[in-house]
Amino acid sequence: MKTYDAIFIGAGQSAPFLAARMAEKGMKVALIERKYLGGTCVNAGCMPTKTLVASARAAHVARRGGDYGVKIAGGIEIDMRVVRKRAETVIMDARNGLIDWLGGMKTMEVVYGQARFTGPKTIAVNGETLTAPQIFLNVGARPIIPDFPGVDDIDYLTSTSIIDLDTLPRHLVVVGGSYIGLEFAQMYRRFGAEVTVLERGPKLASREDEDISDAIEDVLRAEGIAVYTNADGIAFAAKDGGIAVTIGSGKPEIEASHVLIATGRKPNTDDLGLDVAGVAMDASGYISVDDKLMTNVEGIYALGDCNGRGAFTHTSYNDFEIVAANLLDGADRKVSSRIPAYALYIDPPLGRVGVTEKEARRSGRKIMISTRPMSRVGRANERGETQGFMKIIADAETKQVLGAAILGIEGDEVIHGIIDAMNAGTTYPALQWAVPIHPTVSELIPTVLGDLKPV
């Protein structure tokens, strides 16, 4: 049996950094990964998908060249092999960087293999048994494939496998109208594919307020993407070298060349032997953790997507920061102190922080709301990108900003002014006295705050 100070299972955006902190202190650690270092972000998520988004935007801007007085002779052609190669290069650069960094640490052992608990503090991997007083789970999540009729009879794509495409689909049907599905829908439309989005619920991006969801749908429809909501009868059948997709009575059959199923993700916790260790999970398989990310078993922690406390790279990394601060730096940090923030990377992007309007209304607070269309933002007009709007929600009594949504040009960057202010506890009247740089999108934040009205 091999003994360590700490064992890490999974190498996403939490474990490698916490393992490195411990190794730097001279602790003996084992980092076990069944496939690739870096987790979803590096290998099948943020990095490759945002590289693809960049290629798609380049095509979109090139097609709009005439709007800016830039004439491009001939049509715009997309070389999907080059597109895929760019994404692959980004993946491999990041993955190899992690391999070199972690491999150079004297007290860290990187082990490739499937780990499984054989007891509360013992792990079996590659025929060996490892033990440590502290064990950290960072095993991530994978796509959910619902039991649609006929789904097993077709070669469907997931958010992981679609990254390997080096040919352009004739007609891509995206099943799932949330963040992952919408990014791929717009991306492949800009590459030149016909695209249809099917959403079983009444709205796209259903987590958002209805005005945001409607504006997102407007953006996609404006680019020629077909959208069907309330598609509650989805079924598939192989047909004439393609895929026949039905979406309920009274709606047309769709002839697809490719189908992407993007209906959510589930944690990779079903093959770890957590029951043997006595680690508690909820009904969906997420590992139950306390406010400091420890499970019900002393010394076993769950970080990242598998704990159900956040499904983003930045929340996973923050899990590392919380545990590292508490275990190594003598701090007292908690997950409940984290203000939720995220982005949807369609173009224009959506930046979000804090509560939505519907959440604020349900809270019983006295709230104030202000909105401003991007058509009344100078920077947006100068760039010729005026879709979307800005929205801020505040507490009328405490003067604290409760949440914001910025759907528009550079919304994913502009939102950070609000994120920082909320984390600092700055009141909105104080923010109104900021002197922002002109011409920017961010300069409108004090203006939007000045237009807050009670609801």
Mean pLDDT of all residues in 273-292: 98
Same fold across 151-263 and 341-454: no
- Report pLDDT for 436: 96
Reported as a pLDDT band with limits 50, 70 and 90, residue 307 is very high
Distance CA 199, CA 202 (A): 7
Distance CA 382, CA 397 (A): 37
- Report pLDDT for 252: 86
Distance CA 103, CA 94 (A): 14
In this structure, what is the dihedral angle of CA atoms 275, 281, 286, 292, given to the nearest 10 degrees?
-110
What average pLDDT is seen over the chain? 97
Fold (CATH) for 341-454: Enolase-like; domain 1 (3.30.390)
Distance CA 351, CA 447 (A): 18
Distance CA 407, CA 428 (A): 20
| Beta partners for residue 401, in sequence order | 394
Report helix, strand or coil for 346: coil
Q: Identify the H or E element spanning 351.
A: strand 350-354
Q: Please determine, for residue 249, whether its predicted confidence score (pLDDT) is greater than 80.
A: no
Candidate list 60, 258, 314, 438, residue with the active-site label: 438
Q: What is the pLDDT of residues 134-176, one digit of tens each?
A: 999 999 999 999 999 999 999 999 999 999 999 999 999 999 9
Dihedrals phi, psi of 111, to nearest 5 degrees: -120, 130
Q: Where are the domains of the chain?
A: 2-142+266-337, 151-263, 341-454
Q: Please determine, for residue 248, whether its predicted confidence score (pLDDT) is greater than 90.
A: no
Percentage of the chain exceeding pLDDT 90: 97
Q: Alpha helix (H) ranges present in 177-250?
A: 179-191, 210-222
User: Can you give the pTM of this predicted structure?
Assistant: 0.96
Q: CA nearest 255: which of 240, 268, 266?
A: 240
Per-residue burial over 319-353, b = 16 or more CB atoms within 10 Å of its CB, e = otherwise: bbbbbbebbeeeeebebeebeebbbbbbbbbbbbb
Mean pLDDT of all residues in 240-264: 93
Determine the residue type at 381.
N
Strands in 128-131's sheet, in edge-to-edge order, are: 2-3, 128-131, 122-125, 116-119
Q: Does domain 151-263 sit in CATH 3.40.120.10?
A: no
Reported as a pLDDT band with limits 50, 70 and 90, residue 29 is very high
Residue 171 designated active-site = no
Distance CA 206, CA 212 (A): 9
Distance CA 401, CA 393 (A): 6
Reported as a pLDDT band with limits 50, 70 and 90, residue 305 is very high
Q: Please determine, for residue 398, whether its predicted confidence score (pLDDT) is greater than 90.
A: yes
| Beta partners for residue 2, in sequence order | 130
CATH architecture, domain 2-142+266-337: 3-Layer(bba) Sandwich (3.50)
Q: Please determine, for residue 74, whether its predicted confidence score (pLDDT) is greater than 90.
A: no
Q: Please determine, for residue 232, whether its predicted confidence score (pLDDT) is greater than 80.
A: yes
